[in-house]
């Protein structure tokens, strides 16, 4: 048998064994495997100890006024603004901090109004702009222009001969 701990999907078999949920055939197969596998024996022992501890744990008794306190707390209405502002209350204890924050916002707004982001000095439209071009591109462009020039001369010549 392949060790169930080696394959994570099969670890559930050990948990079911510890809880006594396996059928007799799988239980017998797993017990034969655990005779030779120390890690599976330890896993099952720890699983059983955990189940026993959970079964023996007793929850503390609920106080008599638990329901009343619970419903009172549910009925307390807390606005969304209050929930958002609650973590920042210690910051506003000092009077200088809100004033400093407001001053920073005014300075920031002034800087943004003076020069909005993304505005860059654009070159005037009447100035020439240069692009870098590879020599092969220049040769191909000149060859294409020469071919078009020859073509237009032939077309003009053919057009004049047909009129005569």
**Concatenated DSSP letters of 107-159:** HHHHHHHHS-TT---PPPTTS-------HHHHHHHHHHHHHHHHHHHHHHHHH
Q: Is residue 32 part of a domain?
A: yes
In-domain check, residue 111? no
Q: Which domain holds residue 29?
A: 8-56
Task: Identify the residue whose tokens are 């692009």.
Answer: 131
Give residue-wise pLDDT tens across range 106-159.
Answer: 998 888 887 755 666 565 666 666 777 788 888 888 888 888 888 887 777 776
CB 47 within 8 A of CB 18: yes
Does any domain span residue 50? Answer: yes
Give the predicted TM-score (pTM) of the model: 0.37
How many domains would you assign to the chain? 1
């Amino acid at each position: 048998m392949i060790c169930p701990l080696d394959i994570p999907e099969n670890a559930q078999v050990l948990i079911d064994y510890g809880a006594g949920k396996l059928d007799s055939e799988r239980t017998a197969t797993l017990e034969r495997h655990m005779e030779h596998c120390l890690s599976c024996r330890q896993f099952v022992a720890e699983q059983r100890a955990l189940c026993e501890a959970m079964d023996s744990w007793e929850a503390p008794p609920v106080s008599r006024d638990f329901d009343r306190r619970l419903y009172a707390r549910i009925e307390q209405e807390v606005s969304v603004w209050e929930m958002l502002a609650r973590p920042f209350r210690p910051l506003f204890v000092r009077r200088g901090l809100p004033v400093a924050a407001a001053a920073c916002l005014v300075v920031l707004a002034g800087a943004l109004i003076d020069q909005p982001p993304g505005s860059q000095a654009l070159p005037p439209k009447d100035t020439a702009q240069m692009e870098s071009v590879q020599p092969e591109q220049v040769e191909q462009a000149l060859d294409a222009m020469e071919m078009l020039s020859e073509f237009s001369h032939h077309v003009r010549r053919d057009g004049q001969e047909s009129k005569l």
